[in-house]
Amino acid sequence: MPAPFSFWVQPTKRTNLDSIMAYDVHDPAETELSFDEVTRSMQEMFDRDVISVFFEGGEPFLRDDFLDMVEYATPNAFTMVRTNGTLLTAETARRLKSAGVGVVCVDIEGGDAATHDTLVGLPGAFDRAVEAVRHLADAGVTTFITTILTSHNIDQLQELADLTAATGAEKLGVLRLYPLGRARGNWSRLSVPLPRQMASLEAIQVPDGVQLMQSWHPNDPNCCWQMAAVDAYGNSIGCPYLRDFANYGNIRETSFMETWRNPVYKKVRAASAVEACPECAANDRNRSGGCRSTAYAFGGAWDAPDPYCTHMNNGTDLTRLPRRIVDLPFGAPPTMTGV
Ligand code: SF4
């Protein structure tokens, strides 16, 4: 693969929430990428025909120049934004629409205000997020509600599906919990056994006009082969879900394409998992080892099977995180050089 198809870029790790499951923790000693550094990294991708750009934080709308970044991206690639919605006004929604944004995902972590506000640590956050979804829908922006499945909201997926319909959002994305950032330290409070996760997903009655997206088998083929990601401090990390596990070099010191040639990055992209899901293999999903992040977190190797797949779980208790993962520091490790 000469260059990535998808580029994830993180304008900031800062957030206005205090979530117990935040995947990122801002380090005040670090300097965020400037506008020029962000756009330069995007241009390096556009010059190689990347097809999509995904902005995520932290909370990207904390940056005054964030909409300018979106406007730089939209003429060049399908552009997605993920936000907690608390800072998104009707005017912002209209500007996103006129910029030609492809999709905006608004994170809502519970079917009611009490659940969401407790998880994210900000009273009133639920109401503001719901209002943001309505502003986006009113402006004609394709909008998804995204929620991370935890022990706190597992019995509220139907409410979230109904909320998706009621607010005019097009899709509910139910995402698996990743052992990243603060979620690692709070894993035993947040995680749920795999059979219960699957049962709760199957029980959702999807309202008319709403689509359900979920990041479990069979919707989670290994996509590392085409993915690029740069965090707010310039680290090339391959994917946002590898943000605590991988670092292939810093784009302040070298070009992104030089990091793309890092031998560990090449190994992760090669996706030669030791075990493949037979259902995916039968459907010609040749990247059938599942997500490399959870494979690495629970299996300790880039080519381990993904335990979030029922075929490859092999008795792994997803509520028990390996100690070596719990104890990792927040954020990207030093640049990796050896496989
Ligand atoms: S870590 Fe998982 S989600 Fe990220 S690119 Fe790899 S397979 Fe896809």
CA of 85 to the centre of ligand 1 (A): 25
Distances in Å between the Cα of 172 and the Cα atoms of 84, 148, 163, 213 are 15, 11, 9, 6
Q: Find the angle CA(220)-CA(226)-CA(229) to the nearest 5 degrees.
A: 95
pLDDT value of position 316: 94
pLDDT given at position 221 = 72
Tell me, using a 6 A CB cutoff, whether residue 271 lines ligand 1: no
The pLDDT, as a whole number, for residue 73 is 98
Q: Give the integer Cα–Cα distance in Å for 106 and 136.
A: 10
Residue 242 alpha carbon, nearest atom of ligand 1: 1
Supply the pLDDT for residue 288.
Answer: 64
Residue 224 CB–ligand 1 contact under 6 Å: yes
The structure's pTM equals 0.96
Q: What is the pLDDT of residue 338?
A: 74
- Residue 76: which residues within 8 A CB-CB, separation 6 or more? 42, 46, 53
Asked whether the beta carbons of 167 and 133 are under 8 A apart, the reply is: yes
Decide: 300 and 173 in contact? Cβ < 8 Å.
no
pLDDT at residue 283, as a whole number: 66
pLDDT profile of the chain (339 residues), mean per 10:
93 98 95 98 96 97 98 98 98 98 98 98 98 98 98 98 98 97 96 97 97 81 89 98 97 96 92 74 66 93 90 93 94 87
Ligand 1 center from residue 23 Cα (angstroms): 15
Q: Tell me the three state secondary structure of residue 224.
A: helix
